[in-house]
Structure 1
Amino acid sequence: MDQPLIDIASATPVTPSTVLVTGGSGFIGRSLVAELLRRGAEVINLDPVPGPGRWLAGDVRHLPPDLPVVDAVVHVAGLAGGGSPTDVELHDVNAGGTTEVVDHAVRTGVGRFVLISSIAVLGPSELPLDESAPPRPTTAYGRSKLLAERAVLRAAREAELEVTVVRPGYVFGRDNRGNFGRMVAAARVGRFAIPGREDTLKAGIYLPDLVGLLARTLEEPAPPRIVHAVYPDTPTLLALVRMLHERLAAGPLSRRGSEPRVVPEPLVRAGIAALDMAARAGVSSAADLSETMHKLRESSNVVSSVVPGSSWAFGWQTALDDLLVSGVDG
Structure 2
Amino acid sequence: MRVLVTGANGFVGRSLVLRLATRPGCQPVAAVRTLPSCESVSPIDAAVGGAVRYVALGDLTGKEFNPKLFDGVYAVVHCAARVHVMRNREMNPLTAFRAVNVDGALHLAKQAASAGVKRFVFLSTIKVNGEMTAPGASFQACDAPAPEDAYGLSKQEAERGLLQLAAETGMEVVIIRPPLVYGAGVKGNFASMIRLIEKGIPLPLGAIHNRRSMVGIDNLTDLIIRCLEHPAAANQVFLAGDGQDLSTTELIRALGMAMNKRVRLVPVPAAILVLAARLVGKRALAQRLLGSLQVDITKASELLDWRPRYSVEEGLRRCFDGSNQRDRA
Smaller-chain TM-score bracket: 0.7 to 0.9
Q: Give, in angstroms, the shift of residue 74 of structure 1.
A: 0.4
1:18 is aligned to 2:2: yes
Match of 1:305?
A: 298
Match of 1:13?
A: none
Q: Give, in angstroms, the shift of residue 201 of structure 1.
A: 2.2
* Counterpart contact for 2:219–2:310, Cα < 8 Å: yes
Opposite residue 254 of structure 2, the aligned amino acid is: M
Q: CA RMSD in A?
A: 2.5
Tell me the distance in 1 between the aligned counterparts of 2:269 and 2:99: 38
Opposite residue 320 of structure 1, the aligned amino acid is: L
The 5 Å alignment of 1:122-271 reads 122-123=129-130, 124-126=132-134, 127-191=137-201, 193-194=203-204, 198-223=208-233, 225-249=236-260, 255-262=261-268, 265-266=271-272, 268-271=274-277
Question: Which protein, 1 or 2, shows the higher relative CO under an 8 Å CA cutoff with sep ≥ 6?
Answer: 1
Tell me the distance in 1 between the aligned counterparts of 2:161 and 2:289: 30
Superposition TM-score, scaled by structure 1 size:
0.81
Match of 1:105?
A: 112
SS at match of 1:307: helix
Match of 1:59?
A: 59
Match of 1:72?
A: 75
Opposite residue 120 of structure 1, the aligned amino acid is: K
SS at match of 1:300: coil
Superposition TM-score, scaled by structure 2 size:
0.81
Cα 1:312/1:192, change in 2 over 3 Å: farther
Tell me the distance in 2 between the aligned counterparts of 1:43 and 1:110: 14
**What do the CA deviations read for 1:196-228 (whole angstroms, capped 9, x no partner)?**
971222211110111111111111122161111
Match of 1:322?
A: 318
* Counterpart contact for 1:194–1:238, Cα < 8 Å: no
Q: Give, in angstroms, the shift of residue 261 of structure 1.
A: 4.8
SS at match of 1:176: coil
Tell me the distance in 2 between the aligned counterparts of 1:324 and 1:64: 38
Give unpaired runs (5+ residues) of structure 1. Answer: 1-16, 250-254, 276-288
* Counterpart contact for 2:76–2:121, Cα < 8 Å: yes
SS at match of 1:317: helix
Q: Give, in angstroms, the shift of residue 93 of structure 1.
A: 1.0
**What do the CA deviations read for 1:139-182 (whole angstroms, capped 9, x no partner)?**
11111110111111111222222111011111100011121121
SS at match of 1:166: strand
Match of 1:295 among 263, 285, 288: 288
Tell me the distance in 2 between the aligned counterparts of 1:206 and 1:311: 13
Tell me the distance in 2 between the aligned counterparts of 1:241 and 1:177: 16
Q: Give, in angstroms, the shift of residue 188 of structure 1.
A: 2.7
Q: Give, in angstroms, the shift of residue 78 of structure 1.
A: 0.6
Give unpaired runs (5+ residues) of structure 2. Answer: 37-41, 45-51, 325-329
Tell me the distance in 2 between the aligned counterparts of 1:132 and 1:47: 33
Tell me the distance in 2 between the aligned counterparts of 1:266 and 1:113: 46
1:48 is aligned to 2:28: no
Tell me the distance in 2 between the aligned counterparts of 1:98 and 1:273: 39
Q: Give, in angstroms, the shift of residue 273 of structure 1.
A: 3.4
Tell me the distance in 2 between the aligned counterparts of 1:267 and 1:240: 18
Tell me the distance in 2 between the aligned counterparts of 1:303 and 1:142: 19
SS at match of 2:232: coil
Q: Which has the higher mean CA deviation after the structures are superposed, 103-112 or 265-274?
A: 265-274
Corresponding residue pairs, total: 294
* Counterpart contact for 1:197–1:297, Cα < 8 Å: no
* Counterpart contact for 1:206–1:319, Cα < 8 Å: yes
* Counterpart contact for 1:196–1:265, Cα < 8 Å: no
